[in-house]
Amino acid sequence: MRKITIVAEPAPVAIDLAETALLIIDIQKDFVHHGGYGEFLGNDPELLQRVIAPTRMVLDAARATGMTIIHTREGHLPDLSDCPPTKLERWAGGLRIGDVGPMGRILIRGEAGHAIVDEVAPLPGEIVIDKPGKNAFYRTGLESHLRDARIKNLLFAGVTTDVCVGSTVTAANDHGINAIVMADCVASYSLTRHTAMLDIIKAQGGIFGWVTDSASVLAALE
């Protein structure tokens, strides 16, 4: 048992590292690289690239402690049989999941854009969750992995703050898991939405969890 206390908002949070996992959400080439799906839709991927360096620092430190590491990738089977209609029907042809984008078929498993970026790529033995939805608990084995490892706390990194990170944070709360979000390790294509989601998470005494930063986590781990 190794307990640490992390400086956070709305209050410091004490956790046991044996009951904690680092969850890295969707740092995939299609979202954070130029020429990826995010840019294809008119977004600036450089707004997301800032998470890579601090996430890598926390990832290295977490690996050194033996902490459970979990990576997620958003993507679908080639026949789209696992894709909810709500993810297909709101965009014009050519911009839909499964259409051909700059990095292959959009959000299809095995395509170039589906891969996690090299800087934070999984090592052998680390858990990789392929998720068909935005919330990483939806139709995945994430809950089982957490239960089997007796995980009570999740340190969050990844993209985007307001979509896949935010929806997973709120789902974690419903599953009885504490969420601790590192503000500089998550990002959105919109700074306004990024800030708003972090404010929601820590509001009302931490209704969905805590907000901290990589420096505070690294200091606690040391």
What pLDDT was estimated at residue 1?
62
To the query of whether residue 131 is one of the catalytic residues in this protein, the response is: yes
**Distance (Å, rounded) from C-alpha 62 to C-alpha 103?**
31
Which pLDDT score, from 0 to 100, does residue 59 have?
A: 98
pLDDT at 215: 98
How far is it, in rounded angstroms, from Cα 106 to Cα 25? 18
Q: Which of 162, 164, 202, 213 is catalytic?
A: 164
Domains in the chain, CATH or no CATH each? 3-221 (3.40.50.850)
Please give the pLDDT value at position 158. 98
At residue 162, φ and ψ (nearest 5 deg) are -90, -10
55: enclosing H helix or E strand: helix 52-65
Q: Which residues of the chain have pLDDT under 50?
A: none
26 is a catalytic site residue: yes
Q: What is the DSSP string of 140-193?
A: SSHHHHHHHTT--EEEEEEE-IIIIIHHHHHHHHHTT-EEEEEEEEEE-S-HHH
Amino acid at 99: D
Instruction: Choose the catalytic residue: 83, 87, 130, 131.
Output: 131
For 195, the 3-state DSSP assignment is helix
